[in-house]
Amino acid sequence: MIRFVGIRLLQFAGVLIAVSFFTFLLVHLLPGNPAIAILGPAASKQAVQSLDRQLGLDRSIPAAYAVWLGHTLTGNLGRSLITRQSVAGDIARALPVDIELLVGSQIIALAAAIPLAFLAARRPGGLLDEAASTLTFGMLAIPSFVVAVIMQQVFAVHLGLVPATGFTPLTTNLAGNVKDMLLPCITIAIGSVTTYMRLLRADLIGTLQEDFITLARAKGLSGRRILLRHAFRPSTSSLLTVAGLSIGGVISGAFVVEYLFSLPGVGEQAITAINQHDYLLLQGDVLVFAVLFVLANFLVDLLYAVVDPRVRHAHG
Amino acid sequence: MRTAEDRTASEALAPDALRSTAEPSEARHARRLGPAFWIASAWIILVVLGALLAGVLPIDSPYALAYTPLAGPSLHHLFGTDELGRDTFSRVVYGARISLEVGFGSMVVGLGIGGTAGLIAGYVQGTFDAISNMVANLILSFPALLLLMAVVAFWGRAWWQITVIIGVIAIAPLFRVVRASSLSFSGRDFVVAAKALGATRWRILTRELLPNVLPAAVSISLIGVALAIVAEGTLSFLGLSVAPPTPTWGNLIAEGQSSIARSDAWITFWPSVVMFLTLLALNVVGDRLQHRFDVREGRL
């Protein structure tokens, strides 16, 4: 187990370095001289030089990356080019919204997917199973932004059950926060439910054909007990892996949902930054999401090994 | 780090192959493309033709501000008009251009680079395989939409730039799929036989492996086209793709969404429906073709 964790830690560090290097390089994609592209053609020579220094454009790329990484690791992501606020501070204010969306949407998605998968797996090919798989196939063809628009129109605008836009921080008013976040979380969850359900259903059906299930059945255990106690456990590991990978989907969902429901999260901040050409803030936002994604997958890998002993032994 | 994808790539071919040997009647059933496939293909052809011939067809200009704003559907304006009095039907037809260009263009890039690399990596293995695997892993270590948005923001938002970026992102999954099937074919008797007869590497790759790998790769890229259209649509919806007034499905949906408060749902409704049908059709066609080719492999 220790060796397994060690190998994974090394891989994790390698991916983090690659991801951060790429994020650092983004500024160099700007056409022409990045500093002039950011400040505009009317900028003074002094301002351009000072920004050059700040972005490390006066150094070679490896040297500039080293300096940038040093600053980043100490929490200094520079200052916003528009508001002059610290980028790290801006992100720290926005990030809780995303964490809430992430946790909330995944809880809702699992709470819906697990019972549905059990029902479908009990009679493969039955009416419920067929209906569920048709629905899943259809859901693949509905982009998340269309789902978001429909949800907002139906539940917020027409039925008026929850506010259409706006955000109340968790610490200010719990009930208000739940009201504001419920619809965005459900919207993101809809995207994950079908994936989770399809996977868990296939896994359960596979497990139910194993010999130990036949044995349990021969011993006269009830169908429900077999499903819950014997078939579900081996399936949790693949569910975990997919949950990790679907963090990417949740991040894209967060952009759409924050934009549409006006939630002050990192996604909304990044879109505003793009429109205002606030490149340093955008770079910070990209870095935070990318690190979150890599970290989530790393943690999932570790959990995967905890749940399924075959994994840690296979890798030494 | 990517156990789940490793499995899906290799298992993508397996389950149906197994099923087909076990139950021949079901295999025959899976070989048939079925009416859904043909309806879906017809829809895709219709949308592609519409987009190609939009300039020649007797429809309004998507930019003309000549009509009553916010009119409902009528004989003159099948889908009604938007708040500036532009014909929504014509904007939806023209909007297909960007979606299709990005969708098919990015898969050409992705399959061209990722598919070629995967074909070679699966056969020669060794260092080339290890390096291309690492590159694919690195591309996948970034959430796709985030990568797309970031590069578009810094690099530019012309349709060809968006196509290139989505294409580069698509390299990784297409590489994995093609590599897995190239690897499995590499061990088959006919490849070993060709090698024993003294066929060159080039000949084995192009004459033995490519014809076997290509059908499945193309059917998977059709599903990729759908994903690319969604990605461009999301970007458009957020106002980060090709700039207005050029119509795209994403920005049409976004435009309508902001005016729905005035009870004008049509503008969002039509592009959403057309987009839904197109994505569904691409998924159906890709899925059916994939099943068909898998079955053929299993029956050999």
Measured CA to CA, the distance from residue A111 to residue A98 in angstroms comes to 20
Same-domain pairing of A301 and A212: yes
The mean of the pLDDT values for chain B is 81
Shortest Cα–Cα distance, B136 to chain A (Å): 12
Which pLDDT value is given to residue B18?
42
Which pLDDT value is given to residue A194?
82
Highest mean pLDDT among A301-310, B112-121, B133-142: B112-121
Shortest Cα–Cα distance, B200 to chain A (Å): 36
Does A80 fall in a domain?
no
Per-residue pLDDT for B95 more than 80?
A: yes
CATH code, domain with B148: 1.10.3720.10
Number of domains in chain B: 1
Which pLDDT value is given to residue A296?
85
- Number of H-type helices and E-type strands within chain B: 14, 0
> Confidence band (pLDDT; 50, 70, 90) for A287?
very high
Instruction: Provide, rounded to the nearest whole percent, the portion of chain A with pLDDT above 90.
Output: 7
> Confidence band (pLDDT; 50, 70, 90) for A312?
low
Number of domains in chain A: 2
Same-domain pairing of A218 and A195: yes
Does B189 fall in a domain?
yes
Does A78 fall in a domain?
no
Tokens of A279: 């490149």
The mean of the pLDDT values for chain A is 83
> Confidence band (pLDDT; 50, 70, 90) for B160?
very high
| pTM metric for this prediction | 0.84
Does B192 fall in a domain?
yes
Does A251 fall in a domain?
yes
Same-domain pairing of A23 and A122: no
Measured CA to CA, the distance from residue A231 to residue B228 in angstroms comes to 37
Does B226 fall in a domain?
yes
> Confidence band (pLDDT; 50, 70, 90) for B298?
very low
Which pLDDT value is given to residue B1?
41
- The angle formed by the CA atoms of residues A59, A60 and A63, to the nearest 5 degrees, is 85
Query: pLDDT tens, A207-228?
Result: 888 888 888 888 888 777 787 7
CB contact under 8 A, B5 and A245: yes
Tell me the residue range of the domain where A47 lies.
2-73
> Confidence band (pLDDT; 50, 70, 90) for A270?
very high
Does A261 contact chain B (CB < 8 Å)?
no
CB contact under 8 A, A271 and B234: no
Point out the residue among B144, B146, B237 whose CB comes nearest to the CB of A256. B237
Per-residue pLDDT for B117 more than 90?
A: yes
The stretches of B125-205 forming alpha helices (DSSP H) are 126-140, 144-155, 159-186, 189-196, 201-203
**A86 backbone dihedrals φ, ψ, rounded to 5°:** -70, 130
Does B60 fall in a domain?
no
Residues 6+ apart with CB under 8 A from A313: none
Query: What is the count of residue pairs from A and B with beta carbons less than 8 Å apart?
Result: 130
DSSP letter, residue A107: H
CB contact under 8 A, B283 and A26: no
Q: How many CB atoms lie within 10 A of CB A22?
A: 19
Same-domain pairing of A129 and A228: yes
Does B196 fall in a domain?
yes
Same-domain pairing of A55 and A100: no
Chosen for mutation from A274, A292, A315 (greatest number of chain B CBs closer than 10 Å) is A274
Terminal Cα-to-Cα distance of chain A (whole angstroms): 8
In contact, B128 and B121? CB cutoff 8 Å? yes
Tell me the residue range of the domain where B125 lies.
105-242+283-298
Q: Name the amino acid, one letter, at B211.
A: P
Point out the residue among A26, A149, A255 whose CB comes nearest to the CB of B253. A149
Shortest Cα–Cα distance, A228 to chain B (Å): 23
Does A270 contact chain B (CB < 8 Å)?
yes
Same-domain pairing of A137 and A29: no
Per-residue pLDDT for B114 more than 90?
A: yes
Same-domain pairing of A59 and A96: no
Per-residue pLDDT for A172 more than 80?
A: no
